[in-house]
Every structure is written in structure tokens, then in C-alpha cells.
Amino acid sequence: MDNFVIGDIRRVIDRAKIEASMNGRIEEVGVDDLRAVLEDYRPISVEISKSDAEGEVKVDWNAVGGMKHIKTLMSEVLLWPSKYATLFERCGLRLGRGVMLHGPSGCGKTLIAQATATESKMNFIQVKGPELLSKYIGASEENVRSVFERARNSRPCLIFFDEFDALAPQRGHDSTGVTDRVVNQLLTELDGADQLEGVFVIAATSRLDLIDPALLRPGRFDHIVECGYPTTDDRKEILKTVCSNVHIESPKILMKLARETDGWTGAQLRGIITNAQFESLRANPTYIDEKLVIRQMDIDKSYEEVQRKMKAKTAKTGRMNGWQQEQRVTLA
């Protein structure tokens, strides 16, 4: 119960009472009831961290390779209002407080959010959507309220919802009604203009099509930004950033890799470099020099290994989708 706050303790006790009553003990809560609740309970004690906190690993714009247009937009939407507060107030400017980042996994959505928090020097709350969902009636909505309440008490604050599609899918498709109520709660929080003063929201999803459309209207998430597969120039920038502390035998190696990895994500490029470092180490097990040199042959071996894993993953996903389609046909 390390990170628990008073609200968390109250919720655990209330749920333990329900657990006890379900087991026929209306007025008596036992240790077993508490254990049963704690097994599934996820506290909303998300750490609110200062971007300049001592000992914290900073992620700033320099750590984000490529995506210049996205960095520019994030600066305009989330940094300018505080940097040019007088001008915004005098001219009645409003750029919106919500940004929805969407695109394939591994394309830098989380990195962008973390770097924005660092650059803005705002407090930062990072939450994964599924962590807020609970099997107990009313608990999921309360968890959402708790996140926004913490943000309001820590202004200026930036909330980052990762895997947002799990938290806010289109209403009317959940037989339990849990996510429908969560979406309604999110709409209530995002529509509270006065209460949201000094609070900014970034959400990330790899499935924008699953998000409830009401959340994507102006005034809530005003900016829908695609974090797509990096271009050749982006890949060059990403590799340059990833290899800032890595010794490459020749700059031409990275240029060649950038040209040959069309459709690859930033995470996959990082994976190639990491694997190449291990390849170099395997070739020189008694390596004692200060710098581990990555050669073209190390990159080639790593490239083949990562590509093989990608193909295996794609084949597995294809088989799973085929099985699910067969099940739907059978049930129909």
C-alpha cells in the first residue's frame, strides 16, 4: 500500500465491505476480504512529478528525433499560453488545452508527451487507460475524477492518458456500461472550462477509430495529431539521437540504415542499434576499450534479426485475426 492516499484507503474499505456481504458477513470485514480487494485494486496515486525533480531522467526535445512539426505544435498549444500569458489574455487567444496523439505503437507518442512536460516545466501525471478501469460500480468514474482533482491541485499540470482507446471507446458497445460512464465522466471533466484553468491534457492511442467521437470535438481535444511512421529524414534524426553516445565506425552506416528502413518505427530503429551493440560485443568478448565500435556487419546482423522478429509477429497476428474471424462466422 505504498502510494496509497486517504481516498484509496476509503475505497478499499468500502469494497471490502461489499466483498464481506457477498460472502454472507454483513457486519464483519475480515483480512481475507481486504486481501481479495487489494489483489485487483490499482491506486490512483499516480506520481505527480516536477520536470526538474532531482535525480529524474529528463526527456526533452533533444531526446525526440524528427517530428519537427509535432514539436512545433506542442510548443504552440502547451508552452505559448504560459510563455505569452499577457498577450493571450489581451487578444483573447485560445489554442485549446487538449491534444490527441494517434499512430502506430513505437512512433514516439509517449516520448512527445514526456518531453512536452519537461519543456513546459509543468507537473506531470501519466496514467495508462486500463489502470483506471475497475470491476466495482462507480469506481472507474471516481478514478477519473481523482486524476483531474490531483491535476487541479497541482497546477500548472499536464495529464497524459496512454492507451486512451481502452478508457474511452465509443459508447453503446459495452454490455456492462462501465466505459460508457467513464466517457461521460471524461466529457464532464473536459467541459469544465473554469476548473481546467492551468490543466492541460494529452491522450495517446494507436486506434483513433475506437475513440468516442464526442471526445474529439473542438473544446475537448482540439488538436488531433498523427504520429505516423517516420520519413527518411526523420529516421536520420532518430538514429542520430539514438546514437548520440554510441560509436559508429562510419556515418555512412546510419545513412544507409535510414534509407533501408521505410515503414519502421523509432522503437524498431532503437532496437536495431541495441542489437548491433550486442553483436559487436559478441565479436569482441574481451573488449576493454572505452568505446564499443559498431560496424556495418553488426548493423546487418541486427537488421536481419529484428526483421525476422517483425515477420514472425505479423504472421502470428494474422493467424489470430483469422481465428477470430472464424469464431465470428461460427457464432453467426
CATH classification code of 232-330: 1.10.8.60
- Average pLDDT of the chain? 83
Is the pLDDT at 236 greater than 90? The verdict is yes
Residue 269's CB is within 10 A of a number of other CB atoms, namely: 25
For the question of whether the overall pTM of this predicted structure is more than 0.95, the answer is: no
Read off the pLDDT of residues 248-266 as tens digits, 9 standing for 90 and up: 999 999 999 999 999 999 9
Q: Where are the domain boundaries for CATH 3.40.50.300 in the chain?
A: 61-226
Confidence (pLDDT) at 176: 81
Q: How is residue 109 annotated by DSSP? A: H
Instruction: Judge contact between 196 and 97, C-beta under 8 A.
Output: yes
User: Mean pLDDT lowest for which of 46-55, 225-234, 288-297, 299-308?
Assistant: 46-55
- Between 22 and 259, the higher pLDDT residue: 259
Is the pLDDT at 54 greater than 50? The verdict is no
Percent of the chain with pLDDT strictly greater than 90 = 42
Q: Where are the domain boundaries for CATH 1.10.8.60 in the chain?
A: 232-330
Distance CA 223, CA 99 (A): 5
CATH classification code of 61-226: 3.40.50.300
Q: Alpha carbon of 81 to those of 60, 127, 174, 198, 200: distances in Å?
A: 19, 24, 38, 10, 11
Read off the pLDDT of residues 176-202 as tens digits, 9 standing for 90 and up: 888 999 999 999 999 875 677 888 999
Is the pLDDT at 2 greater than 70? The verdict is no
Q: What are the backbone angles phi and psi of residue 60, rounded to the nearest 5°?
A: -115, -170
Identify residue 282 by its one-letter amino acid code: R
Three-state secondary structure along 316-331? HHHHHHHHHHHHHHHH
Which among 104, 118, 69, 73 has a CA at the least distance from the CA of 266? 104
Q: What is the DSSP string of 35-67?
A: HHHHHH--------B-TT-TT-----GGGS-S-
